[in-house]
Amino acid sequence: MKKILSLVLVLVLLLSVVACSKKTETTAYELNSNGVKSVITYTHQGDKVLTQTAENVITYSESPIKDKEDAKARLGAMVKAYDEAKGIEHSIEYGEKQTVQKIKIDFEKLDPEEFKKLPGSLSSGDISKGISLKMSEKLLIQSGYKKVEK
């Protein structure tokens, strides 16, 4: 009986160590360029990205996009592609002074081949095996993003 209790205790400890190693965290990156403020936030367990959210704010007076109608014309095809993609939640608000776009990608539900075809998607390697936070960070830093310190 003592050996069984010891074995159960070891299993419980092992499971708690495994559970602790699966801690879900968030990491964010920001870019301000040509009138566009972009914040990308990853929810991840270790190096494995679970979700990615992006909020892009385009200020017309500081960007090549002139106004609300110009924004609709330039972003219309992208909006349609994102609205139809499985695993992606998307919203866009065209205001008088700025456009605010929000995108959430759930990589557990996303079709990797469909993702590669989306306008503005940036990936490297075989994303069907998962998205690496380290590789994502490398691509973002190369693109001018800065890590947001907590």
Higher-confidence residue of 4 and 47: namely 47
Q: What pLDDT is attached to residue 38?
A: 96
Q: What is the 3-state secondary structure (H, E, C) of 46-106?
A: CCEEEEEEEEEEEEHHHCCCCCHHHHHHHHHHHHHHHHHCCCEEEEEEECCCEEEEEEEEE
For 5-41, how does the pLDDT look when each residue is reduced to its tens digit (9 = 90+)?
333 333 333 333 444 457 999 999 999 999 999 999 9
- Is residue 149 packed enough to be buried (19+ CB in 10 Å), middle (13-18) or exposed (0-12)? exposed
Question: Is the separation of the CB atoms in 31 and 37 below 8 Å?
Answer: yes
- Is residue 23 packed enough to be buried (19+ CB in 10 Å), middle (13-18) or exposed (0-12)? exposed
Question: Is the separation of the CB atoms in 105 and 51 below 8 Å?
Answer: yes
Q: What's the pLDDT band for 56 if we cut at 50, 70, 90?
A: very high
Q: What pLDDT is attached to residue 47?
A: 94
pTM for the full predicted model: 0.79
For 98-149, how does the pLDDT look when each residue is reduced to its tens digit (9 = 90+)?
999 999 999 888 887 777 777 777 666 667 778 899 999 999 999 999 999 8
Q: What pLDDT is attached to residue 125?
A: 65
58-62, 87-91, 119-123: the lowest-pLDDT one: 119-123
Domains of the chain: 23-148 (3.30.1830.10)
Q: What pLDDT is attached to residue 78?
A: 82
Q: What pLDDT is attached to residue 57?
A: 97
Q: What pLDDT is attached to residue 124?
A: 63
Question: Is the separation of the CB atoms in 3 and 9 below 8 Å?
Answer: no
Q: What pLDDT is attached to residue 21?
A: 57
Residue 113, both tokens? 């081949």
